[in-house]
Structure 1
Amino acid sequence: MTGPGLVLVVAVAVLFAAGFDLLMQRSLIRIVVGFTLLGHGANLVLLLAGGRAGTPPLLGSKGPGRMVDPFPQAMALTAIVITFGVTAFLLALAYRSRQLSGGDEVPDDVEDRRIGAERRRRDEAPATTPLEEEHPGREDGA
């Protein structure tokens, strides 16, 4: 794969990497932009799946090359519409959240903090052997 195909593969990789990075942020607007970048990356993947350009897929047409598959194009159009709808919905949620809370930062979940503190406590506790559990305080294990 050389030339334009390789450039598109690199562009897809960059779009997916940037999209996932922004999706993991705490700001709702960054999450929306990350989702949009993922949508554009998915459209480029569908463009790559279509293959090389060919003659239009019309019945009875005799062109110099092979007919192009219309399925990836239809999927790309569907992906564009779905991405637009979900982006509009996420923007509406971000706007409403900003109205109610005064910011677009996603707050920490209290339950997540409790579970994280428990896990840290468990990881920091000294490891005990089965003999120490049966006879605490005895160093010889008897």
Structure 2
Amino acid sequence: MEMMEAFQRVALALAIGLLVGIERGWQEREMADGARAAGIRTFALIGLLGGLAGYLGPVVGPVVPSMLGVALTLTLIVFSYRAAEPQHDFSATSVVAGLVVFALGIVSVTSDMRLAAAGGVVTTVLLAARHSHVMVFLKP
């Protein structure tokens, strides 16, 4: 892969994280500082981490990207739990969204960029659907 293509692919991974992070930040904008487990910066970094993991995979093998994925999963679980504990409002959505962003970051570097971009848009729409009328068109 040429360097320019690698930059474009990693930038897409970052953009996917930013898109999802903007949505999560908007949904949780009323929460007190420190009460959110992940927002714009965190999801952008998760997307970037996924892109870098995808880029490193062919160079160092599957162990490093897998270890990054496990470390990310554990980190997201711990921080989501700590953020949810005071309100007893436990949800797996942010953890799952973080893992999806990580995976889409890998896909953006290792596979079809259009698939990764579409996955980012679909993820954002699904997350936005909880507090909006986005899913109205799916009702029978």
User: What TM-score, normalized to structure 2?
Assistant: 0.37
Larger Rg: 1
Q: Structure with the greater relative contact order (CA < 8 A, sep ≥ 6): 1 or 2? A: 2
User: What TM-score, normalized to structure 1?
Assistant: 0.36
